Amino acid sequence: MFWNDLPSKFTILAPMEGVTDVVFRQVIARAGRPDVFFTEFTNVSSFASEKGRHDALERLDTAKNESPIVAQIWGKNPEHFKETAAALGNLGFSGLDINMGCPDKHVNKAGGGAAMIKTPELAVECIKQAKSATKLPVSVKTRLGFTYLNEYKTWLPLLLEQNLAALTIHLRTRKEMSKVPAHYEIIPEIVKLRNSLAPETKLIINGDIKDKAQIEKLAEKYPEVDGFMIGRGVFENPYCFTNHDPDREELKKLFLYHLDLFDIRAKELESRGSRYPDEPLKHFFKIYFSGFNGSKEFRNELMKCKSTNELRKIVQKSTSILNQ
Ligand SMILES: Cc1cc2nc3c(=O)[nH]c(=O)nc-3n(C[C@H](O)[C@H](O)[C@H](O)COP(=O)(O)O)c2cc1C
């Protein structure tokens, strides 16, 4: 099982819908890869339906250099968890993760993501069905509670009793969204729960972790935590899994690489009768071009572009502003 073969204090790129697709994961792999990748989450009922299967499979595309990579799924139908888990065993993934933390209204209304915290029996059944259908290690990513912080005192033990390969905890409740600082103060209590109920389950913490330097500090303070997951930190520095502080030239090159991968992916999808869902990379510009005089105006210029070639032209002719 790959979770046991990872380095001590391993790192993970958090799953982020609309961000961490196969293209962006390769960009992060080039900048400096984490020890583990996760896919964006995929709905099990879409996967289990004839109509939704094609799109679901596309969301689960991976590149050769990503291993180990964990497929993340969500839903509320135990049978569909079973079906999806069975199929994912043959798609080259190293593990399977169930999302029980997403705060999105639509996802929660459909009974999935963080809503699972309110239906613990169903949550357990979904885990059981997934586990029954695959040899892949099954893990869960969740929050501390739905409404109240102290819900973790019953919710986490219940999860830990399911003999999970790993448990990732985003250290906030669903109600808190991302509006308050992550509750690091609860880590010692969570470590105790893990140690007493499921010493074999890898414990991963998530929330407000920005980069490797912060991971090193957290690892020193909480030595029994096994892994550390970074999400939005990649927006501030795509090299966050290294201790590298990139200069503007490196960021520009990484952006051009991102554009090339975007084109390859768009062509690949087109040949399958699909299309890349976004105008080229608008929500990524800030990662590559910020923090210098005129960066906002520069991004506004990029926003007007309709194609990757237009973007390339602007970036390549802007050496003076990018090298100031
Ligand atoms: C744009 C965006 C999309 C997200 N999509 C997912 C997802 O598909 N699955 C999931 O488990 N969490 C998802 N999350 C939550 C992150 O994985 C992570 O738990 C959260 O951002 C807190 O970590 P951070 O402070 O390091 O960003 C998403 C977060 C963001 C910002």
Could you tell me the pTM of the whole model?
Answer: 0.97
pLDDT tens for residues 161-211?
A: 999 999 999 999 999 999 999 999 999 999 999 999 999 999 999 999 999
The identity of residue 109, as a single letter, is: K
Tell me the sheet residues that pair with 138: 96
Task: Tell which CATH classification among 3.90.1150.10, 3.20.20.70, 3.50.50.60, 3.40.50.970 matches the domain 2-236.
Answer: 3.20.20.70
Mode of pairing for the β-strands spanning 95-100 and 202-206:
unpaired
Ligand 1 pocket, 233 CB below 6 A? yes
* Residue 43 in tokens: 């709905």
Helix (H) or strand (E) holding 145: strand 138-145
Q: Residue 109: what pLDDT?
A: 96
- Residues with a known catalytic role: 102
Ligand 1 pocket, 170 CB below 6 A? yes
Q: Residue 278: what pLDDT?
A: 66
Helix (H) or strand (E) holding 97: strand 95-100
Ligand 1 pocket, 104 CB below 6 A? no
Q: 118 pLDDT exceeds 80? A: yes
Q: What is the distance between the alpha carbons of residues 287 and 269, in angstroms, rounded to a whole number?
A: 25
HEC sequence for 169-187: EEEEECCCCCCCCCCHHHH
Q: Residue 276: what pLDDT?
A: 82
Q: What is the distance between the alpha carbons of residues 277 and 54, in angstroms, rounded to a whole number?
A: 15
- Quick check: bond before 223 cis, omega within 30? no
Ligand 1 centre to CA of 16 (Å) is 5
Residue nearest to atom 30 of ligand 1 (CA): 16
Q: 320 pLDDT exceeds 70? A: no
Q: Residue 275: what pLDDT?
A: 86
Ligand 1 pocket, 141 CB below 6 A? yes
Q: What is the distance between the alpha carbons of residues 30 and 171, in angstroms, rounded to a whole number?
A: 29
**Mean pLDDT within 57-77:** 96
Ligand 1 centre to CA of 54 (Å) is 24
Q: What is the distance between the alpha carbons of residues 130 and 78, in angstroms, rounded to a whole number?
A: 8
